[in-house]
Chains A and B, each alone.
Chain A
Amino acid sequence: MTEARLSPEAAHPRSRRAREVGPSDLGVIFETHAAPLYRTILAYTGGRADVAEDAVGEAFARATAQAESLRDPVAWLYRVAFNVANDELRRERRHGGEAPDVPQPSPEVAGLFDALKRLPPRERAVMALFYVLDLPVGEVAARLGIASPTVRVHLTRGRRHLATLLGDDEVDA
């Protein structure tokens, strides 16, 4: 038995116990998380606002239908939204590219979006959560249901990929 396990602080983090989220709280969750989730999916899809909007809306629609069974609605919403967006992008690829009426991103971020699209899905997800939402590694891991070390590996790869694709130019903070 490790010391960490026996530690009351570690084994029984009181503060976490106050994090109650019930089905009736979906409205609150929407107000708090819909916009960040949209931005995350926007980055994940490489600027596909239409897919992001649909994925986030669909995620909340499914959450509403299954509210009683959700333990951690926020993490669940992220996974479902990623999933829906992934499905849509894959469906488009199979059927010959993007829909013709896809709104084009502004020129200043077009390069970034193009580069993001070339990242593997998981890398994209990790980069979006880490950089767009500014989440710590542990929280990114929780949202994606993967281990923290894995998140770090993907962050490393993602940074390397984006540096390759977009250059190492630095800017003033």
Chain B
Amino acid sequence: MPKRWERELHRLSDVPAPIDDIRARSERPSAGHAASLPPARQRVVAGVVAFGVFLAAAAFGWQAFSGGEGAPAGPAIDGDWPAATITLTSDGSGKSASLSIGGRTQRGEFGASTSPDEPYPYVWSNPQIGRAIAVPIGAELRVDGDVHIKEVLYGNADELDAGKAPDSGPISSEQPTFREPYFPVQDQTRREYWKLFGTWADGSVLDVYFEVRWVEPRVDLTDTSVDIVLAPETLEAELLYGGQRLGTMGDGSYGGMSVILEWVGYDADTVYFPVAAGSTIDVVGDDLESWTTRVERRQGAESFEAIDRIPDAMGPTTLRLSVVWGDGSGTFRFPVEIVEPRSTTDAEPAAILEQIPPRSFAGETLDGRPLDLGDFQDRAIIAVAWESSCAPCRATLNRIQTWTEVSRLGPVAVGIVERADADKARRTARDLGVSFPNVIARDDRDRWGIDAMPSVWVMAPDGTVVAFRSGSVDRGWLADAVYRAAFGAASEPTETSSSDVLRVRCTDEGVEILTPEVEAQAEGVHVLAEPGSAEHAEAIELRPLGWPMVNFSSSSSGVHGEFARQVPPGDVIVACVREGDTGRLTVDPRPTEAVVRVTDPNGFFTPWIPTCPLEQHVAFDAGDPVPTDASEDMDDTVRRLLVGLSPPDSVAPAGYLRAHPAWDPLFSVTRSGEVIGSVWVERDDGEARITSGFACAGSGVEEGLDPYPAWQG
């Protein structure tokens, strides 16, 4: 039966709408400012308004794009809009396509027909650069060639992969444009597909499919300043970027001497406001006595104290500002995404691959040992040329370091630095915790044949360069390149993602992780479980790294399909769960583990893992059931079950229980403000019992304790 509020919501669908009034209002000129802006800005406004996604606007304060005073044009774009030209040609020898962006050309390959009944044989694919072609935001697509384009469709490639994509087109245009990305412009990790339909010169059906991944155009963000303007009397803060107002933060509440303001519309899964690494930070405001800014890594512990400059690129994070005013103090939190000062697009592979460092590249490492790349025969190699003074280099080094630590494919990473930079590079490598060797090049960089730092090569064991990137790399690029280096270009690239979608498949060998590294928000890891060959697999388990295996069977609804799983912040283990001899679900004995890093930027989760060391945990045994019924407060029931603890002062559903009450009846037990235990409670037909649990040693719980007899009612 529906809830009362559900029915009331449904009833709103019958509310009469004042259509005549709305029509009259719509016939008045728009209150928005787009139409009155200069042409260049208007283009930006139109694009952002059209696809700016109201949530991104709300989160960023970019709502000004769609109206409101002082609509900013966003960060300045260096130069003209880049152009992307697709050239489609057909002659007697066949049909071909090439895509040119910014003077660099990527030639596509056409696959075979998938069905004799469907004239859709042409799939754009360039194995050298991966499926998704990097297209600068704002690039204008021009279709060249003696072809007739009738229709263009576009949409979410991930959803298309899942077989559920609604096309978001069509664009009825002879000259389709790339100017309006389907995804928010800041989201550079998502793939968008485009389909061009029409006829070739010979009259045959033209049907081209290709994917794009939006990247920033040549936006020079170096040394841009982030200014925060405080107005304590109205509890507002304005964030300016490069001198342009990007939004006002308000809606705060004043609590005594302290005020905490969140960005209006802030939501963990919205796109964050991009600021560039290296940008200076300044805070201005009336009656301001002092301030400090920090940037917190979403991964947790690391933070930068009292920074006056945005540190290395690290993706979405929180910029925290603590201020002391004349009459109080306050904390402001801005969701920001720290990006590279200068983005790059994929370099044209063919030209640059000829200039790679040879496999025999040799030299002395920063710690004085000889190194020859030839020593790493039969190993995939990631080579990165870098220098100490470049922020994108440091970000890239971090990613490569992380990758070498978590990858099961065993790539060897080697850095290459200039001799003149060796001393500083040595310090940088030490500061960043880089463990892979870094070779001091014999030649200076001018002879390396590269024009940007960092430059990254990924080489297969046979020495073939499978990928090159001039500029910083993200995890998705690394994952794809290393996979191809390890298993060959003919293999299907690993699906990678820096999003929160975890793609897994249960096989006879255990769980196969298709996204080796996922960074998820605490609000949920989205699991896309593909059909596998495993028999008897019942579920896919996600559990915190280091947390003992317990009967954690309810972690998914099955081994196929899509589900969201909420787990506490931290690293998470992924494993297949099968039905064991006892009838209980047990973890597949051959799991393949992936690291899923779950973060909790909102503080949404209450802690539920006991704070005592893991080895000190003792286990509960299941107790006799305690009668309960639907009207009874479950917290009280659990408290009664737990009277063996001496005494808990609070029992509460753990964080993710609150989000998914039907999934995991996990309760945390707190005493004196510290979590001292966690229990899983099974409810069945009016009875509740503890099925398993853990508590800190010395907390009053002894192994084998049956908590029920001590219950006094």
A residues apposed to B, CB below 8 Å:
1-2, 4-8, 10-13, 16-17, 19-20, 22, 30, 34-36, 38-39, 42-43, 49, 53-54, 56-62, 64-66, 69-72, 75-76, 79-80, 82-84, 86-87, 90, 93-94, 108-109, 112, 115, 120-122, 125, 127-128, 131-134, 138-139, 142, 144-150, 152-153, 156-157, 160, 162-163, 166-173
Whether B5 contacts A170 by the Cβ 8 Å rule is no
Residues of A near B523 (CB, < 8 A) are: 153
Whether B5 contacts A160 by the Cβ 8 Å rule is no
Whether B120 contacts A11 by the Cβ 8 Å rule is yes
Whether A166 contacts B5 by the Cβ 8 Å rule is yes
Contact of B25 among A5, A57, A160 (CB under 8 A): A57
In this assembly, does B7 line the interface, its C-beta being within 8 Å of a C-beta of chain A? yes
Whether B524 contacts A153 by the Cβ 8 Å rule is yes
Whether B564 contacts A132 by the Cβ 8 Å rule is no
A11-B120, A58-B31, A109-B8 in contact; A72/B22 too (CB < 8 A)?
A: no
Shortest distance between the CB of A70 and any CB in chain B (Å)? 6
* Chain B positions 75 through 111: 1 when the CB is less than 8 Å from some CB of chain A, otherwise 0: 0000000000000000000000000000000000001
A150 to B161, CA, bound (A): 18
Whether A127 contacts B9 by the Cβ 8 Å rule is yes
A5-B160, A146-B53 in contact; A57/B3 too (CB < 8 A)?
A: no
Residues of B near A17 (CB, < 8 A) are: 151, 153, 167, 170, 197
Shortest distance between the CB of B269 and any CB in chain A (Å)? 5
Contact of A79 among B24, B54, B118, B183 (CB under 8 A): B54
Whether B53 contacts A145 by the Cβ 8 Å rule is yes
Residues of B near A61 (CB, < 8 A) are: 25-31
Residues of B near A157 (CB, < 8 A) are: 659
Residues of A near B117 (CB, < 8 A) are: 8
Whether B184 contacts A145 by the Cβ 8 Å rule is yes
Residues of A near B170 (CB, < 8 A) are: 16-17, 19-20
Shortest distance between the CB of A30 and any CB in chain B (Å)? 7
Residues of B near A133 (CB, < 8 A) are: 13
A128 to B13, CA, bound (A): 10
A16 closest partner in B (C-beta):
B167
A34-B17, A83-B54, A149-B564 in contact; A132/B9 too (CB < 8 A)?
A: yes
Residues of A near B21 (CB, < 8 A) are: 53, 57
* Chain B positions 1 through 43: 1 when the CB is less than 8 Å from some CB of chain A, otherwise 0: 1111111111111010111011111111111101100000000
Residues of A near B58 (CB, < 8 A) are: 83, 86, 121
A7 to B11, CA, bound (A): 41
Shortest distance between the CB of A36 and any CB in chain B (Å)? 8
In this assembly, does B180 line the interface, its C-beta being within 8 Å of a C-beta of chain A? yes
Whether A69 contacts B54 by the Cβ 8 Å rule is no
Residues of A near B480 (CB, < 8 A) are: none
Whether A38 contacts B18 by the Cβ 8 Å rule is yes
In this assembly, does B534 line the interface, its C-beta being within 8 Å of a C-beta of chain A? no
Residues of A near B56 (CB, < 8 A) are: 145
Whether A142 contacts B168 by the Cβ 8 Å rule is yes
10 CB-based A-B contacts, threshold 8 Å: A30-B23, A34-B22, A38-B17, A61-B30, A61-B31, A65-B34, A66-B49, A87-B68, A90-B251, A125-B54
Contact of A71 among B3, B15, B125, B171 (CB under 8 A): B171
Shortest distance between the CB of A119 and any CB in chain B (Å)? 11
Whether B658 contacts A160 by the Cβ 8 Å rule is yes
Residues of B near A7 (CB, < 8 A) are: 114, 163
A17-B170, A149-B524, A149-B562 in contact; A134/B10 too (CB < 8 A)?
A: yes
A75 closest partner in B (C-beta):
B168
Residues of A near B234 (CB, < 8 A) are: 94
* Chain B positions 173 through 202: 1 when the CB is less than 8 Å from some CB of chain A, otherwise 0: 000000010011000000000010100000
Shortest distance between the CB of B265 and any CB in chain A (Å)? 6
